[in-house]
Amino acid sequence: MQIVANVLMETINWDSNGLVCAVVQERHSLRILMVAWMNAEALQHTIESGYAHYYSRSRRKLWMKGEQSGHRQKVFEMRLDCDGDAIVLLVEQLGDIACHTGHASCFYRIYQQQNWQIVDPIIKSEDEIYSSQSNEQ
């Protein structure tokens, strides 16, 4: 297993901070849910557990999606782009909320009429999701 892990990690073109961009899509609709960052440890935890793990640049720590909110992401497929510097995760979003703001997707705004318009409803408020806990992102 160590050889497989080494080949996997060496194939990725990590940035200068040891991170790779992760684009997260819902596996059936292919809707983009969020973009996050992964380090080698997050990728390893994702592979081992089958649930998405990321690296928080602001908090400088590993986190599992949904560890506070319960809105976990079960990973069904991972794809690496041609340059090796971006990963796509095809997931099942448990709880139907991917964004820490309570929207289904972090991409809930669309540029229309020379402004960003909110086009998707909040499913559950941040206060309801996290109570007194700190936000995931």
Q: Does 136 fall in a domain?
A: no
**Helix pair angle (2-11, 40-49), 10° resolution:** 130
Q: Does 135 fall in a domain?
A: no
pLDDT level of residue 131 (50, 70, 90 thresholds): confident
- Total of domains in the chain: 1
Residue 114, domain extent:
2-130
CATH, residue 88: 3.10.20.810
pLDDT tens digits along 69-107: 999 999 999 999 999 999 999 999 999 999 999 999 999
Using DSSP's 3-state secondary structure scheme, residue 128 falls into helix
- pTM value surpassing 0.85: yes
Q: Does 115 fall in a domain?
A: yes
Q: Does 137 fall in a domain?
A: no
